[in-house]
Amino acid sequence: MAPPVTSRPARGLIALLIVLVGLVAWAFWPGTQTNVRLGLDLQGGTQVILVPKPVTAGATITDEQLQQTVAIIRQRVDGLGVAEAEVTTQGSGNGAAIIVSVPGAEQDRVVDLVKRTALLDFRPVDTLLSPAPFDVNATPAPNPSASPSATPSPSPSSTFVPGTALVQSPDNSVEHQGKVAALDCTNPVAYTGGTPDDPALWLGTCERTGEIKYNLEPAFIKGSNVTGATAGLPQNGIGSWVVSLEFDSEGANALAEASTKLSALPDCGTGVSPCNAFAIVLDGVVVSAPRFNEPILGGQAQIEGNFTAQEANDLANVLKYGALPVTLDPVDITSVSPTVGNDQLRAGIIAGLLGLVLVMIYLLIYYRALGIVAVISLIIAAGITYLLFIVFSKTIGLTLTLAGVAGAIVAIGITADSFIVYFERIRDEIREGRSLRQACESGWVRARRTLLAADFVSLLAAVVLYLLSVGSVRGFAFVLGLTTIIDVLVAFWFTHPLVVLIGRTKWMQKGSRWTGLDADRVGGHSLAGEVVGKSRRRASSEKKTEEVPSP
């Protein structure tokens, strides 16, 4: 770790070049996202922070419950079909918070979406269908004879439109069947669910991977009738994982009745109707559709299905927590319109540019040639920051919020501070009588220590803030931490090497007043040893006054 007396400036510059080229390639790789993801306060949208509360007072929220809740909310939010909608958690246990961000959406929709309790029900399967939509009228189907229902029957001449919303009707009418047939289960909007179904009605919906389409009878058991669900291996230890279910008395009776009826029916398959399976429906989509092998009378059922441990656990969780495992309290709802978001972004960018320009002007006036090095360093630091924003946007899902923008602006000053520490050190070294060449090196060795210590404190603050805080503070802390690291990187690989390089030029060593290191500024021994020509007079007179002992 001992610093070399003469550094090799080219190394640092090459290292920086490699990093820059790498980042540019990574950030702008064709076919990937090449822009910075903006937070809701900058692009408009709604963010809801939810605090989960245990259903029974005094209980603790387990990680499992939290994950389950997030999974259910995510399923519903995905159902909105909005790209970049996000559900994240912060913290754990009873201090946890769930943050739902939906760009572009209005407050009412999002709040309604997340606050609702999930609906779980069990329905007998009427028919299995292929997932693609088809027009029943196109096939030689039975004539849609005048049905007495209130709604008009579909006119055969109307153009066929595949649907994506689940289909509900009071009975299994021909019209209902037609709509179910038209349901497009290959469309993600149709199979991600999120719309609760009315258990009293017939339901046409999709399996949650979109592979099968179902026409289902009204529910025979509701989620609230399930008292327990566990995943485990069968008692004899043979076979794959199973899910065991327990029901309350109402559920047990309904199960006994339904299983007696259904188990007598033929196995399900395309075109078989009705058949012996029942569907477990969560938030409008089919999670699983097991078959009744025999009547179940004891209120305890076992679902077998060649499950892996993971699948069995997931299903058990769905059954157990069909209704959300926790109650959710929306504690912070923020809704920003795209116009306002745009304004904020613009103001942030303008403030950033203004800040950058002000700092550059100051550095140029005060440090002259060194100031130019500082200005280029700042531009490079800003460029790396921008590239890293893009890279983190696509890798770890960083979103840039207004607080983050503020962090980046504040970082301009902190980054420039490092250069000042270094430049002042160089001046100190020259005052101590060192040549410019030596001063650039030895000044760096000393400045480096100060810089690392000071940046370490900044980084510490950023990391602690990031780990322990919520909401906008986190975004700010992340950006601050990131820019601190960039600051160190630029100072080590760019500012120092460049200063060393220009410190080797004759012009700098002459100590012109445009170097920022001339005798007037630095005084005393300023480069005196190497001074030639015009500047000598000034330098030597400077030296003379210096040596006059104070009376």
Partner 1 sequence: MSGRIGIGQRLYKGQVSFNFVGRRRTWYAISAIILLVSIGALVFRGLNLGIEFRGGADFAISNATCSVEQARTVAEAKTGSQAIVTSAVNGTIRVQTESLSAEESSVLAGELADLCGVPKAEIKVQVVGPTWGSEISKKALQALIVFLLLVSIFLSIYFEWRMAVAALVALAHDLVITIGIYSLTGLEVTPATVIGLLTILGFSLYDTVVVFDKVKENTRNIAGQSVLTYSEAANLALNQTLVRSINTSIVALLPVLAIIIIGAGFLGAGTLLDLAVALAVGMAAGAYSSIFIATPFLAQLKERQPAMRSLTARVTARRAQGGKGRAGGVDSEGGEGDFAVTTRVDETVRNQPKRVSRSRRPKS
Instruction: Report the alpha-carbon distance of residue 170 to residue 201 in Å, rounded.
Output: 5
Cβ count within 10 A of residue 269: 11
Cβ count within 10 A of residue 70: 19
In the bound state with partner 1, the residue whose beta carbon lies nearer, of 216 and 402, is 402
Taking the complex as a whole, how short is the minimal distance between the CB of residue 230 and partner 1, in angstroms?
Answer: 34
Taking the complex as a whole, how short is the minimal distance between the CB of residue 96 and partner 1, in angstroms?
Answer: 11
Taking the complex as a whole, how short is the minimal distance between the CB of residue 347 and partner 1, in angstroms?
Answer: 5
Taking the complex as a whole, how short is the minimal distance between the CB of residue 152 and partner 1, in angstroms?
Answer: 35
Structural contact between residues 36 and 520, judged by C-beta atoms closer than 8 angstroms: no
Taking the complex as a whole, how short is the minimal distance between the CB of residue 41 and partner 1, in angstroms?
Answer: 7
Structural contact between residues 266 and 276, judged by C-beta atoms closer than 8 angstroms: yes
In the bound state with partner 1, the residue whose beta carbon lies nearer, of 71 and 420, is 420
Instruction: Report the alpha-carbon distance of residue 476 to residue 355 in Å, rounded.
Output: 17
In the bound state with partner 1, the residue whose beta carbon lies nearer, of 10 and 457, is 457
Instruction: Report the alpha-carbon distance of residue 67 to residue 53 in Å, rounded.
Output: 14
Cis omega (within 30 of 0) for bond into 274? yes
In the bound state with partner 1, the residue whose beta carbon lies nearer, of 264 and 470, is 470
Taking the complex as a whole, how short is the minimal distance between the CB of residue 146 and partner 1, in angstroms?
Answer: 44
First-to-last alpha carbon distance for the chain, in angstroms, is: 46
Taking the complex as a whole, how short is the minimal distance between the CB of residue 412 and partner 1, in angstroms?
Answer: 5
According to DSSP, the β-strands at 45-54 and 97-103 are antiparallel
Taking the complex as a whole, how short is the minimal distance between the CB of residue 93 and partner 1, in angstroms?
Answer: 13
Structural contact between residues 370 and 499, judged by C-beta atoms closer than 8 angstroms: yes
Residues 6+ apart with CB under 8 A from 172: 126, 202, 215, 217
Which strands, in side-by-side order, build the sheet including 241-247?
Answer: 226-232, 241-247, 300-307
Which of 200, 146, 153, 199 lies closest to 176 in space, CA to CA?
153
Exposure string of 178-205, with b = 16+ CB inside 10 Å and e = fewer, is: bbbbbbbbbbeebbbbbbbbebebbbbb
In the bound state with partner 1, the residue whose beta carbon lies nearer, of 209 and 541, is 541
Six-digit token string for 14: 């090459």
In the bound state with partner 1, the residue whose beta carbon lies nearer, of 169 and 334, is 334
In the bound state with partner 1, the residue whose beta carbon lies nearer, of 84 and 424, is 424
Taking the complex as a whole, how short is the minimal distance between the CB of residue 417 and partner 1, in angstroms?
Answer: 4
Six-digit token string for 187: 């469309």
In the bound state with partner 1, the residue whose beta carbon lies nearer, of 27 and 416, is 416
In the bound state with partner 1, the residue whose beta carbon lies nearer, of 240 and 469, is 469
Q: Alpha helices of 228-337 — where are they, by DSSP H?
A: 249-263, 309-321
In the bound state with partner 1, the residue whose beta carbon lies nearer, of 274 and 338, is 338
Taking the complex as a whole, how short is the minimal distance between the CB of residue 485 and partner 1, in angstroms?
Answer: 14
Q: Which helix (H) or strand (E) holds 68?
A: helix 63-79
